[in-house]
Amino acid sequence: MIRVAALGLTAVTGFSALVYQVAWQKYLAALLGSHSEATAAVLGIFLGGLSLGYWLFGRLAQRLGGPGGADVEPRQLLAVYGLVEAGVGAYALLFPWLFRAALALSLSAPQGIAGLAFGFDVLLAAVLIGPPTLLMGGTIPLLTQALARGAIDATRIHALVYATNSAGAFVGALVAGFWLLPAFGLKTGVISMGIINLAVGLAFVGLARFQSNSRFARKLPANEPVQATRRVTFTAVALLSGFSLMTLQVVFNRIAALSFGDSHVAFAMIVACFVLCIAMGSLAVAGFDRIDRRVLIGCQWALVAALALLYPHIEDAPYWAHRLRTYFPAPGGSLLLYHALSFVSIFAVLSIPLSLAGATLPLIFHHLRNEWGDLGAVAGRLYGWNTLGSLLGALIGGYALLNWLDLHHVYRIALLALIAAAGILTLTLTSQRTIVWVAVVGCMVLAISQPAWAPRKLSAGLFNLRRAFTHSRGGPAEFFDHYLNERPADFLVFHSDGPTSTVSVEQFERDGQTISILKTNGKSEGAIPLDNPTTSMLALVPAILQAAPKRAFVIGYGTGETVGTLAGIDSLEEVVVAEISQGVIDAAPWFEDHNGHALANPKTRLLRTDAYRTLLRTSQRFDIIASEPSNPWVSGVELLFSRDFLEVARDKLTPDGIYAQWFQTYQMDERTVALALQTYRQVFDEVSVWYMRGTDLLILGYKRADPGGPNPLADLEERWQRADYQDAFARISIDSLGELLAHELFPLGVITAAELPDEIHTLEHPILSHYAVRAYFRGEPARLPATHSDEPAAVGARNSLLRRYIEHRGGLSDDERYAVLEETCVYQMALCATLIAKWGIDAPGSDGYRRAIDAARASPYHAPFARIEIQSRIALLLGAQNGVAMKTRDQRLRIAKFYRRFYHHAAPFVPEILDRVAGRRLEALHAAIP
């Protein structure tokens, strides 16, 4: 009964350990950054602490027993382990405050040389998570020693401890990523785990009171000695096993990102699959009392064979993920079921090799055990070396090698390490040396000679395809033959696997022009010239809204269009760029001819670093900070949308400086957009929102020396006349100030006055990516927050730049108005219909109005113009005529939805008209909208 209770508590400690690991990784991103070196450092500290903990507590278990372990008392060992777990819990309760202290110390330290500053922060990180990870290393050596009744019984108990701890970690990986941390935040998650660890520690101390104090010094039979040479052999195998398994985990994490999309969900599923399979493999070992040495040899060679047979099929993983996705067409389908089936699919592929890997350490332990009093020391040494191997796998296989090699090379290296381990075991435990050497060399040659994975398949980005195509269910060969043959054979002009991302460039001809697309982990991050309006406006709008900006900071280089546009503005003296991915920098030459050779411009200063870390530590101030990250569902991006980061960015702005954010609303939902806007308005003095290409938004956060006033229109008109702005806007086909102002969606003050949810996205409560993943699964464009009633509408009408510009000009000519209308119709069809209706009210008989109506009627794809009655309904709401009251609830709901969809702050509706037509207050109607 004591054993059962102890094993149950061991599962709980495994659960909390994974929650800590996920939470600490997110915490330390604020201290070290999100770049590959920081990720490797955090994983290295975690694994290094565990490795040292295994060794130290193995020695402690042996020391407590005295010479030969004859004086070891199980009761004493359980009590010690209880204190260890309580120590982890007590430290976790203090961690949030210790982290804040470490962050403050980091910021107060002299920065000097960047490498030394980063090294100092790594040291702080080691001080933060080193002690608790060291204590976590006590689980296996102490419990193996405390729960075993003898040396022969030790294998089963040790395997059960390993299995239950790993099973708890499996649950922790899923709960932490999918529910606990998004729902309650990092601080609450860590503190709650601390309370759990304290309770577990007290429970073990309580169990110690009921544990028998019988001492077992029973040795193994004389015919099973543990020779010194075998100890060295088994140690080497444990080291190689840890190296290969961690290296493979990094590779499979990247394959999952390329197949399912690079979200935190893909990472959580791979980690959960690894620890579950390890638990299964260890549990299988626990079912045997006696294990022949041939089982260990066979297990190692079976692991090699399974991974070798899997290798040629890995490049097809994106196809199989796409095929699964087609059974969940957007917007229908269950996200939970999709994730469950995705996990089952990953598990089905990896369960055999990973379960064999999970059996390795318990099998080695079986052959190393000798005396009962030495069991903890044996387990400590074994797992210490194995975790050291994992540390090397994280630093070398998961980071260093990927700076020079591609994923398939790293997979082969992991496979070679396993072949070496299997060969070492076989040479040690058998006498067939010639045959073994031939087998080892032959397997290594076969592993090295395998063909490379096809970058065209892995970087295809099939996770973006939500519907089945003609060949989607025909198998990977048939699908790729047709899917890739639609493009020229040489369309993939650049491909590079890095430590954290796979970057590729696709180039092809379409309609007489060359299209160049930058992809990261299979997802498009920018295309020239398709995204030129967006990336150029990200630079031009915040620049022209200021008197004479001198310094700019750009987050993410991308295609370089934003950097090149900023560098082309006469008043700007320096453009600092923070790019986290070396692959993106290496891909830059493919875009330089299109972005004005941005990197060669003397104004440009490129930093291969993390933007958060850079802004935290710089003393410089910027007139413009332009951020163009990937979509919020992409792993590692959500920090850039957090209140913590935005506060840092605001502090680095000059008075009247502007923070400009590219925010994608495609494959997004209203809740996610509202969360982002609510976070922005909590930080900046004023916020406005513009639209760019398609459904992309430009969020502008202002640091005002004197908040409250709209942008001076006269100064804006004067700046528009400058040649540098004229040329830059002409390149994206914006030829008048009116056309530019047509892009203003929510004028200054509208977001401040709007009703938004109270949720805030912060470092300690990161919820944006959690919402964004769900929205991405549905794949619909987001509906923007309602701003068409009461105070938001009044503020919008007062501050609308387009409306003020028209009034200032005393109206626009037909050609000017048509140009504004045409610019709006390109991307905002509903607002275009509103402007047509407004024109019909102001000048119903003008030639320009009739030309606009004819264009609307002739449009084959602009849905709001398909039927002219749309225009007449808008005219009704604008007050052009009296309508017939709509009495039914369905009619009222339709008119309320209609009102919200077509509301334009530059041409506001008259709320009283809606009240008369609908028969009730607008707020009540809005509340009733499904």
Between residues 274 and 77, which one has the greater pLDDT? 274
Q: What is the pLDDT of residue 930?
A: 34
Burial of 434 (0-12, 13-18, 19+ CB in 10 A): exposed
What average pLDDT does this structure show over 79-99? 96
- Of the candidates 817, 795, 781, 551, which has an alpha carbon nearest to the alpha carbon of residue 668? 781
The burial of 760, by beta-carbon neighbours within 10 Å (0-12 exposed, 13-18 middle, 19 or more buried), is given as: middle
Q: Distance between the two ends of the chain, CA-based, in angstroms?
A: 55
- Span 79-92, average pLDDT: 96
CA max distance for the chain: 109
Confidence at residue 436, expressed as pLDDT on a 0 to 100 scale:
85
Among 90-99, 271-280, 640-649, 841-850, name the one with the lowest average pLDDT. Answer: 841-850
- Backbone dihedral region of 746: left (phi > 0), alpha (psi from -120 to 50 degrees) or beta? beta
Average pLDDT in the chain: 86
The pLDDT-based confidence of 322 (bands split at 50, 70, 90) is very high
Looking at residue 228, its pLDDT comes to: 62
Q: Tell me which amino acid residue 356 is.
A: L
- Rounded mean pLDDT, 662-685: 93
Q: Residue 913 has what pLDDT?
A: 47
Over pLDDT 90: what percentage of the chain?
60
Top pLDDT among 421 and 433 is at 421
**Greater pLDDT, 201 or 177:** 201
Tens of pLDDT, residue by residue over 573-585, are 999 999 999 999 9
- Position 111 scores a pLDDT of 63
pLDDT for residue 217 is more than 70 = no
pLDDT at 921 over 80: no
Per-residue pLDDT averaged across 225-249, rounded?
Answer: 85
CB 583 within 8 A of CB 525: no
Query: Which pLDDT does position 223 carry in this prediction?
Result: 39
Q: What is residue 810's predicted lDDT score, i.e. its pLDDT?
A: 87
How far is Cα 821 from Cα 826, in angstroms, rounded to an integer? 9
Average pLDDT (747-769) is: 93
pLDDT at residue 220, as a whole number: 47
Residues 407, 881: Cα–Cα separation, whole Å: 67
Res 894: pLDDT: 64
pLDDT of amino acid 903: 85
pLDDT of 465 > 70? The answer is yes
Tell the residue number behind the tokens 């008109």, with chain if given: 717
Asked if residue 426 has pLDDT above 70, the reply is: yes
One-character DSSP codes across 128-150: HHHHHHHHHTTHHHHHHHHH-SS
H or E stretch at 528: strand 523-528
Segment 895-914 shows an average pLDDT of 71
Q: Which of 3-17, 232-246, 865-879 has the lowest mean pLDDT?
A: 865-879
Residue 434 has pLDDT above 60, yes or no: yes
pLDDT tops 70 at residue 361: yes
Mean pLDDT, to the nearest integer, of 35-42?
80
Mean pLDDT for 864-871 is 45
Q: What pLDDT, on a 0 to 100 scale, did the predictor assign at position 919?
A: 44
In order, the DSSP letters of 581-643 are -HHHHHHGGGTTTTTTSTTTSTTEEEE-S-HHHHHHH----EEEEEE----TTSTTTGGGGSH
> Average pLDDT for residues 277-287, to the nearest whole number?
93
For 703-750, the DSSP string reads --SSTT-PPPHHHHHHHHTSHHHHHHHHTTT--SHHHHHTTEEE-TTH
Is residue 388 predicted with pLDDT exceeding 90? yes
Strands, E, within 379-501: which ranges?
A: 492-497
Percentage of the residues of the chain whose pLDDT score is greater than 70: 88
Nearest to 624 by CA among 574, 664, 670: 574
Q: Please check the confidence at residue 536 and state whether its pLDDT lies above 60.
A: yes
Q: Give the pLDDT score at 864.
A: 44
CB 566 within 8 A of CB 728: no
pLDDT of residue 371: 57
pLDDT band at 511 (very low <50, low <70, confident <90, very high): confident
The tokens describing 113, both together, are 């040389």
SS3 content of the chain, % helix, strand, coil (to 5): 65, 10, 25
Cα dihedral 841→844→846→852 (10° resolution): 80
- Residue 289: the pLDDT is 72
pLDDT higher for 871 or 715? Answer: 715
Q: Is 531 helix (H, G, I), strand (E, B) or coil?
A: coil
Do 690 and 823 form a contact (C-beta atoms < 8 A)? no
pTM: 0.91
Among 204-218, 258-272, 368-382, the range with the most confident prediction by mean pLDDT is: 258-272
Each residue of 529-549: b (16+ CB within 10 Å) or e? bbbbbbbbbbbbbbbbbbeeb
- Is residue 398 within 8 Å of 246, Cβ to Cβ? yes
